[in-house]
């Protein structure tokens, strides 16, 4: 079975400051890793995903994440946030089997302070 933990339910950060949203996962088998973003009053959309290859994955809107197998982490980072990044961010673990359930974290709300 897989699980995913987002330790921070809310993260306040000043505009133009860097941010890191933490995600740790647990799995006894190989998995794929995702970050989804949910803007206010919208559905979730893919930010980035790690399938294989380079452990540093670049996504939309200047976000990137690094897969660290030894620490079972997939933290999301952005060097300089903008007010438009205000959203909830979900880390997710996807199993190898097509029909098995993707596991979403509980989400981290990113608050951008002016």
Partner 1 sequence: DAGVIQSPRHEVTEMGQEVTLRCKPISGHNSLFWYRQTMMRGLELLIYFNNNVPIDDSGMPEDRFSAKMPNASFSTLKIQPSEPRDSAVYFCASSLTGQGAGNTIYFGEGSWLTVV
What residues contact residue 54 under an 8 Å CB cut-off, 6+ apart?
Answer: none
Task: Tell me the C-alpha distance between 107 and 4, whole Å.
Answer: 10
Q: Which is nearer to partner 1, 30 or 114 (CB)?
A: 30
Burial environment of residue 35 by CB neighbours within 10 A (0 to 12, 13 to 18, 19 or more): buried
Query: By the 8 A CB rule, do 110 and 87 touch?
Result: yes
Is 10 a residue that touches partner 1 (CB under 8 A)?
Answer: no
Using CB under 8 A, pick the residue from 11, 13, 15, 49 that binds partner 1.
49
Binding mask 61-90 for partner 1 (x = CB under 8 A): -----------------------------x
Query: Which pairing describes strands 3-5 and 32-38: parallel, antiparallel, or unpaired?
Result: unpaired
107 interacts with partner 1 by CB under 8 A: yes
Place of tokens 């995903």: 49
Residue 70 beta carbon to partner 1: minimum distance, rounded to whole angstroms:
21
Q: Quick check: 45 binds partner 1 (CB under 8 A)?
A: yes
Q: Which chain residues interact with partner 1 by CB under 8 A?
A: 32, 34, 36, 41-46, 49, 51, 90, 94-102, 104, 106-107
């Amino acid at each position: 079975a897989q699980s995913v933990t987002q330790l921070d339910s809310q993260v306040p950060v000043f505009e133009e400051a860097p941010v890191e949203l933490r995600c740790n996962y647990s799995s006894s088998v190989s998995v794929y890793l995702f970050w989804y973003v949910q803007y206010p009053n919208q559905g979730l959309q893919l930010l980035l995903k790690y399938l294989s290859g380079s452990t540093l994955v670049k996504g939309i809107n200047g976000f990137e994440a690094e897969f660290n197998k030894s620490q079972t982490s997939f933290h999301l980072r952005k060097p300089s946030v903008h007010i438009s990044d205000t959203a909830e961010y979900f880390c997710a673990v996807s199993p190898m089997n097509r029909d098995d359930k993707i596991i979403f974290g509980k989400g981290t709300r990113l608050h951008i302070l002016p």
